[in-house]
Amino acid sequence: MPAVIKNAEEVEKMRVAGRLASAVLDYITPHVRPGASTGQLNDLCHAYMVRVQGTIPAPLNYAPPGYKPYPKSICTSVNHQVCHGVPGERVLKSGDVLNIDVTVIKDGFHGDSSRMFYVGEPGIQARRLVEVTYACMWRGIRKVRPGAQLGDIGEAIQSSAEAAGFSVVREFCGHGIGRRFHEEPQVLHYGRAGTGMRLEPGMTFTIEPMINAGKAAIRELADGWTIVTKDHSLSAQWEHTVLVTETGFEVLTVSAGTPPPAPADA
Ligand code: MF3
Ligand code: CO
Ligand code: CO
């Protein structure tokens, strides 16, 4: 299936949805501290989305083929959890690092973004992993322009992750996004430059590398959702939704609290 090309009106709706997803991450930031439970963070985000923003939390009851409906409104993936961590009773403690992944629907369109958070003071390895993963996401984003190929993004991410001694998770990838949460194309975070689908103006997709401090292998927990590293090494992830413009890219998931882009030489 080909990628969906968004027209100007649809792009504007994607901008709104992207800004709102990012604003949820801004909102929850001061609540991420020792003693908070992931379930509390979920409930706060849920109320903010539904009551303040008038957005729909896309994860809630989301059920792709082969999965049971996702039970919560955000994903919270702590330490060696790679992605799709299900919020619950777990209480955060100083030294934890976690990813919060937010996807909202506004006016029929999806915005999808995630950030890493430090609970108290992170260890040296955790900080390095989080910073390298952020630079990897930005290396991928900077490849986005008409005529570039998806493999250019994958290679840029993989090469910087592996140069740092880390590994790229293979089983999950970025994705086209729009009226549907997950649409064509699949955006792999590894691969070879000069391969894969060519990018065209009006495409919207996510770039969301999951990078492990240890080996790349993962497994799924018995809850049917939470993904963890097999070797229990730390894992980090950042995610933006981007638009292919006539001249390059536009990051759609931006708000007041969005961290600045990683330096181009990182
Ligand atoms: N937000 C995730 C992504 O980036 C998907 C989460 S699916 C869920 O694609 F059901 F776990 F929420
Ligand atoms: Co996504
Ligand atoms: Co996401």
pLDDT in tens, 30-77: 999 999 999 999 999 999 999 999 999 999 999 999 999 999 999 999
pLDDT at 228 over 90: yes
Check if 96 has its Cβ closer than 6 Å to any atom of ligand 1: no
pLDDT at 1: 79
**Closest listed residue to residue 150, CA positions, set 91, 92, 99, 199:** 199
Check if 59 has its Cβ closer than 6 Å to any atom of ligand 1: yes
Check if 70 has its Cβ closer than 6 Å to any atom of ligand 1: yes
| Atom 2 (ligand 1) nearest CA | 101
List pLDDT tens digits, range 76-128. Answer: 999 999 999 999 999 999 999 999 999 999 999 999 999 999 999 999 999 99
pLDDT-derived band at 263 (thresholds 50, 70, 90) equals very high
**Using CA atoms, how far apart are residues 70 and 86, in angstroms rounded to an integer?**
8
Residue ranges of E strands in 149-260: 167-168, 174-176, 183-187, 204-207, 210-212, 218-220, 227-229, 235-237, 240-244, 249-251
Q: Given ligand 1 and candidates 181, 184, 220, which is best to mutate, with the most ligand atoms within 8 Å of its CB?
A: 181
Q: Whole-structure pTM over 0.95, yes or no?
A: yes
List pLDDT tens digits, range 162-182. Answer: 999 999 999 999 999 999 999
**Using CA atoms, how far apart are residues 56 and 130, in angstroms rounded to an integer?**
29
pLDDT at 265: 82
> What distance in angstroms lies between residue 36's CA and the mean position of ligand 1's atoms?
22
pLDDT at 24: 99
List of domains in the chain: 8-251 (3.90.230.10)
Residue 247: C-alpha distances to residues 23, 127, 147 (Å): 27, 34, 10
pLDDT at 266 over 80: no
pLDDT at 43: 99
Shortest-distance atom of ligand 1 to CA 175: 9
Check if 75 has its Cβ closer than 6 Å to any atom of ligand 1: yes
pLDDT at 234 over 80: yes
* Residue 154 structure tokens: 């994958």
